[in-house]
Amino acid sequence: MTLGFVGILERKRNLQRRLEEIMRHDAKSRYLGLWGWLIIIVFAGAFLPMGGGGRGVATAQEEPPDHFVRFVVGAEGQMTFEGESVTLDQMPSLLDAVPHRANTVLTFAVANRALTLEEVDPTKGRLMNLSNDLGFNHFSDIGVHPLGSYGLDASPYNGHILKEITVDIEGDGEAENGRLSVQYAVQAICEAAAIPYQSEKSASLADPQRRRFIRSMHLKDVTAEQALLDMLDPVGLRFNLDARGLYLHDPGEYEPLVEKPSSARAQGTMPRVIATSPAVGAEDVDPSIGEITVTFDRDMGKGMSWTGGPPDFPPIPEGQRAHWRDARTCVLPVNIESGSYYRVGINSTSYQNFRSGEGVPAKNSTIYFTTQGASDELKRKLKTPRIISLDPPNGAPDVDPDLK
């Protein structure tokens, strides 16, 4: 009897129809009798549940992951996870804190293609093992993305975000006195990258931050992702993608995966720059100096964030890297030319790896100078604006309220 049932396992609907046909067969016939009906009833009771949903016959389709987190490795040990600076030793606890790991993909990126396998592979291997050990949906290598970037949801527009764009806006649209609203600037970036911008969704998730003003925007040959990161981070916003395009959201609505340094940990003072070479605002600098240095008032950690970009950031000689001369002085090898203006940042809003030994980031600052033979126009860039008069003067009493 058992062998006789092997070939007739069916889905519930088909089996129900067959049984109904059997029970309708020749109502006047007495062939089945009592025992025949009992066999049919027992058979139906035993095998109808087996047809429910095709369980055991069909393989359930795996649901796609619904969340992505991102780790980026850069030069000189720089690393970020979900937009914040981290160390590799922090990653086990940070990944363990990610919710819904079974539906989350851990993505891995490098900050630039110049990184060697020796710099990347040990970190990548450790993260792959952590991904498996902690039960992530899977681990994915996603190529080149900026330090400080974060995981984006799956979207038809994921490739567009890597498109290099040129955007030049000043005094147009919503601009006011050379300022642009965040939303207007994001719309311009999206248009250049051919990504639909979701204004209503952004309004519900990022209002009123999306109406904040930023400076005029002049971008050339940068990826849309980098442009959005540089613009949104200072105003405390993030972006994401879905099937309909790009939208803004306020990360303050969600508990961050990476804890930022607290004021309690800062204990009052940040590391302070006490010397630079060349000096800030220096003129007629010898172009053969070969290096820029910054010295802090205390022993620092091993990370660094020399920030900026062309044309003002000086080129670094091939085969050389920034390094710490001692616990307080960091050196940036450079190859500068005469008749030029240069500007180099010490930390920035997105990159803050100049930190004390206790992990407190140094205040953002800049080193700027001109070299021998620079024009008067370039030297004027060294001058900072200075108030020479106020009307009415500060502290003036009895000012006419109708003053215009």
- Domain containing residue 324: CATH number: 2.60.40.3710
Are both 48 and 91 inside the same structural domain?
no
Are both 157 and 106 inside the same structural domain?
no
Are both 293 and 367 inside the same structural domain?
yes
Are both 164 and 238 inside the same structural domain?
yes
What is the model's pTM? 0.49
What is the b/e burial string over 350-364, where b = at least 16 CB atoms within 10 angstroms of the residue's CB? Answer: bbbbbbbeeebbbee
CA pseudo-torsion sign 23, 26, 27, 32: negative
Span 379-397, pLDDT tens digits: 988 887 667 777 888 778 8
CATH of the domain at 233: 3.55.50.30
Are both 274 and 245 inside the same structural domain?
no
Span 19-36, pLDDT tens digits: 555 455 444 444 555 566
CATH of the domain at 133: 3.30.420
Residue 275 is predicted with a pLDDT of 92
Burial class of residue 322, CB neighbours in 10 A (0-12, 13-18, 19+): middle
Q: How confident is the model at residue 370 (pLDDT cuts 50, 70, 90)?
A: very high
Are both 209 and 292 inside the same structural domain?
no
Cis peptide, bond prior to residue 311, ω within 30 of zero: yes
* Residue ending a domain, choose from 203, 221, 252: 252
Are both 273 and 376 inside the same structural domain?
yes
**More confident position, 344 or 253:** 344
Q: For residues 135-163, give the mean pLDDT.
A: 89
CA pseudo-torsion sign 46, 48, 53, 55: positive
Q: Is 390 domain-assigned?
A: no
User: What DSSP letter does each residue of 149-183 carry, written as one string?
Assistant: -------TTTTGGG-EEEEEESS-TT-BTTEEEHH
* Residue ending a domain, choose from 117, 145, 173: 145
Please give the Cα distance from 67 to 103 (Å, whole number).
6
CB 29 within 8 A of CB 36: no
Please give the Cα distance from 115 to 204 (Å, whole number).
40
Parallel/antiparallel/unpaired status of strands 138-144 and 104-110? parallel
Span 221-266, pLDDT tens digits: 888 998 888 878 777 788 999 889 999 987 754 444 444 444 333 3
Are both 101 and 179 inside the same structural domain?
no
Q: Is 204 domain-assigned?
A: yes
Are both 274 and 375 inside the same structural domain?
yes
Q: Is 259 domain-assigned?
A: no
Q: Is 393 domain-assigned?
A: no
* CA distance from start to end of the chain: 104
Name the phi and psi angles at 202, rounded to 5. Answer: -65, -40
Residue 376: other Cβ atoms inside 10 A: 6
Are both 333 and 297 inside the same structural domain?
yes
Are both 198 and 141 inside the same structural domain?
no
Are both 173 and 89 inside the same structural domain?
no
What are the residues whose beta carbons fall under 8 Å from the beta carbon of 12, sequence distance 6 or more? 48, 51, 52
* Residue ending a domain, choose from 145, 173, 206: 145
Parent domain of 294: 269-380
Span 35-89, pLDDT tens digits: 666 666 666 565 555 544 443 333 444 555 678 999 999 887 888 998 888 888 8
Q: Is 130 domain-assigned?
A: yes
Q: Is 394 domain-assigned?
A: no
* Mean pLDDT over each residue of the chain, to the nearest integer: 78
Q: Is 287 domain-assigned?
A: yes
User: What domain count does the chain have?
Assistant: 4
Please give the Cα distance from 335 to 399 (Å, whole number).
55
Residue 12 is predicted with a pLDDT of 45
Please give the Cα distance from 87 to 76 (Å, whole number).
12
Q: Is 294 domain-assigned?
A: yes
Residue 289 is predicted with a pLDDT of 94
